[in-house]
Structure 1
Amino acid sequence: MRPAVASSADLDVGAAPALALVAGEVSGDLLAARLMAGLAPRLPGVRYSGIGGPRMLEQGLVSDVPMDTLTVRGLLPVLLRYRELKGIQDRLRDRLLAERPAAFIGADYPGFNLGLEQQLRAAGIPTVHFVGPQIWAWRRARIKKIQRAVSHMLVIFPFEEAIYREAGVPVTYIGHPLAETIPLQPDVAGARRALGIPVDATVVTVMPGSRMAEIKYLAEPFVRAVRLLAARDASLRFIAPMAGERQKAYFRQVVAQAGLQDVPLTLVDGASHDCIAAADAVLAASGTATLEVALFKKPMAIAYKVLPAEWMIIRHMGYLPWIGLPNILAREFLVPEFLQHAATPEALADALWFQLTEENNRARLRERFTEMHHGLLRDSARASADAVLRVIGR
C-alpha cells in the first residue's frame, strides 16, 4: 500500500538533522530514494520533507503534496498549470525558509527545482541538484541560472562532469543508479515466468510513457504498429507496462477512441523491468525508459511526439542530433529514433521488425549496451551521500 501523504505539521521539528527533497517524476523518485537510503545510516535520526513519490515515502519522506501533482510534460502544459505549480513552489519555499533544513536536494525536475533552489541558496540554505539538466542537449543558457542556484551538482553521465566544472559549478559524477539496479545479465526466463509468458515466445514490449501527455500522443501509433506487426507474425506476444491505474485507464481510452480494442496487446500493472527483461525488442517513448532498455541489452525503437505547436518551438532548440539516451551516450544512432510526424505506425513497425529479425544487429547492440552498462556502474547511493555530507559539513 502506498504510504499516505503527510503535512509538514507532522514533522518533529525539534529533531535533527533535516533535509528537504523534491522529485516531480518517477525517475526522480527513484534517484532521490537511493540517495536517501545511502544517507540514512550515516545521519541517524535524519528527517526528510518536501515532495516525492512512493519510493521516497518508503524512505521516510513527509510529502507536502502527492508527487503526481507536479508531473507534467511539455512547455505548453506547464504554461497552462503555471499558477498552480508556482503556488506549490511558493508555499514550499516559505516553509523551508522558516524551518531551514541542512540542505535542499532537487531530484531532476529542473523547471521547478532550479527556481526553488535559487531562492533557498540566496537565503543561505545549501542546495544540491541531483541529475544535471540536459544543457548539453538544449537550453545551454540555463547554466547561468545553475551557477546561481546550485551549491553542488550530482551528475549521472560521465561526460557531464567536465561541462559543469568548466562552468565553475562544483560537481560529482556518481554513476547512474539504474546501472546498479539492472543486472548485467538479465534473467529473461525468470521475467517471462513472472509475467506468465512462454519462455520460447517472441515478445515485443510497448512503452508509451508514464506521463499522460506521452500516452496521449503515442498510444495510438504504438498500438497501430502492434497491429501491423501482429499481421506479419501472428505468434508474436505484445505487452505494455502501465505506470499506474490512471495511466492504464487513459491508455485504454485513447485506444478505444481509435477503435483499436481488438489489437492483441496485454497491459501489465507496473513490472516495467520484468516487461523489458522479457522482451526480444522494445518500442519506447523517449526518456529514461530508453536507458533502461539499453541496460537490459534489448534492441529498440524510440519515438517522441508532442503538441504540434510545441514541436514548432522545441525543434529549433536542440544542440544534438539524437534524443534517445542510448544514442546520446554512444554519440551515434545505435537505435532508430522517430520524431513527431515521422513516428508513424508503419515506420515503427518496420523498425521493430528489423530489431526482431536482424541477428547481426542484435549482437552488436548487446555488445555496445554492455559496454555502456559498465561505464555507468558506480555505487551511486554512497557517492551521492558522500557529496551531500560534504555540502552540509558532516
Structure 2
Amino acid sequence: MPRILIVTGEASGDLHGANLATAIRTLRPDVELLGVGGGKMRAAGVRLVQGIERLDAIGMVGLAQLRAAIRTYAALSRFLKENPLDAVVFIDNPGLNLRLARVAKRAGHRVIYYIAPQIWAWHGSRIGLIAQVVNRMIVILPFEEELYRRAGVRCTFVGHPLLDAVAPSYDRSELRKRVGLDETARVIGLLPGSREKEVRSLLPMMLETA
C-alpha cells in the first residue's frame, strides 16, 4: 500500500491539499494518506499527524510564532526520520517546507513540491536548494516550468487549481451588474492574504488607504 505524506501550513494549502488527496485517492484507492493540514484535508480522508492551527499564524513574525515554528520543525523532522514513506508532498509555505524538504531528502524520501516557491518574485537564490532536495516540482503558472527546468529541476505544469473551482470565463458586464458596480468604473481588488491574522492586520490599513 503506497504511503504518502502531504504537508501544508496555511488555510489555502489545506484546500489544495484536500483536492490533491481526493485526486490521488481516485487514482489509487488503496493509498494511505497522512498529512499536516486542517479540516478540509481531514474531510478528504487524510489522517492528520499534526494540525495547522499553530502553523497558520506564522505569517506574522513574533516570538510566539517563532517558538511554534521551531517546535513544529522539530516534531516533523522526527516524523520524517522515523516513518517509511513512498513520497512527501509539500504544498507552498516555503519558509518551513523547504527546510523540511531537506530533512525528507536526507531521510531517503521522494520529495514532491506542489505550488512552487515564487523564486521569480523574491529569494531567487533558493533555487539551488530546491534543485538539491526536490525530486519533482509541480507548478501552477506556465512560465515557472521553464524557469525550474533551466535550473535542472524536474518540473511539470498542471495549471492553477482554482480554475477547477471557478469558471475561467465570465461576462464582465453581467458580473458588474450582479455586484452593483458601474460598468465604466475602475475596480481594484484588495487581497490581504489567506491567514486570519494577515486579514485582521492588513485589511483595515488597505481599506483606509483605498
1:182 deviates by 1.0
- The counterpart of 2:145, out of the listed 150, 161, 172, is 161
Counterpart-to-counterpart distance in 1, 2:160 and 2:101: 23
- The counterpart of 1:83, out of the listed 56, 64, 67, is 67
- The counterpart of 2:42, out of the listed 42, 46, 57, is 57
In structure 2, the residue matched to 1:7 is none
TM-score (norm 1): 0.47
Counterpart-to-counterpart distance in 2, 1:34 and 1:207: 22
* Structure 1 residue 201 corresponds to structure 2 residue 180: yes
Does structure 2 conserve the Cα–Cα contact (< 8 Å) formed by 1:154 and 1:171? yes
Greater CA radius of gyration, 1 or 2? 1
Residue deviations 1:265-320, cap 9 Å, x none?
xxxxxxxxxxxxxxxxxxxxxxxxxxxxxxxxxxxxxxxxxxxxxxxxxxxxxxxx
Unaligned stretches of 5+ residues in structure 2: none
In structure 2, the residue matched to 1:95 is 79
In structure 2, the residue matched to 1:217 is 202
Does structure 1 conserve the Cα–Cα contact (< 8 Å) formed by 2:80 and 2:103? no
* Structure 1 residue 133 corresponds to structure 2 residue 117: yes
What percentage of residue pairs aligned between the two structures are identical? 33
* Structure 1 residue 115 corresponds to structure 2 residue 99: yes
TM-score (norm 2): 0.84
In structure 2, the residue matched to 1:177 is 161
Counterpart-to-counterpart distance in 2, 1:133 and 1:200: 34
Alignment of 1:204-283 (within 5 A): 208-211=192-195, 212-222=197-207, 224=208
Counterpart-to-counterpart distance in 2, 1:24 and 1:186: 32
Does structure 1 conserve the Cα–Cα contact (< 8 Å) formed by 2:17 and 2:91? yes
Q: What is the number of equivalent residue pairs in this alignment? A: 202
Unaligned stretches of 5+ residues in structure 1: 1-15, 193-197, 225-343, 349-394
**Alpha-carbon distance change, 157 to 85 in structure 1, aligned in 2, over 3 angstroms:** same
Q: Partner of 1:90: helix, strand, or coil? A: helix
1:65 deviates by 2.8
- RMSD over aligned CA atoms reads 2.7
Question: What letter is aligned with 1:174?
Answer: V
In structure 1, the residue matched to 2:59 is 73
Counterpart-to-counterpart distance in 1, 2:151 and 2:179: 52
Question: What letter is aligned with 1:110?
Answer: P
Does structure 2 conserve the Cα–Cα contact (< 8 Å) formed by 1:23 and 1:108? yes
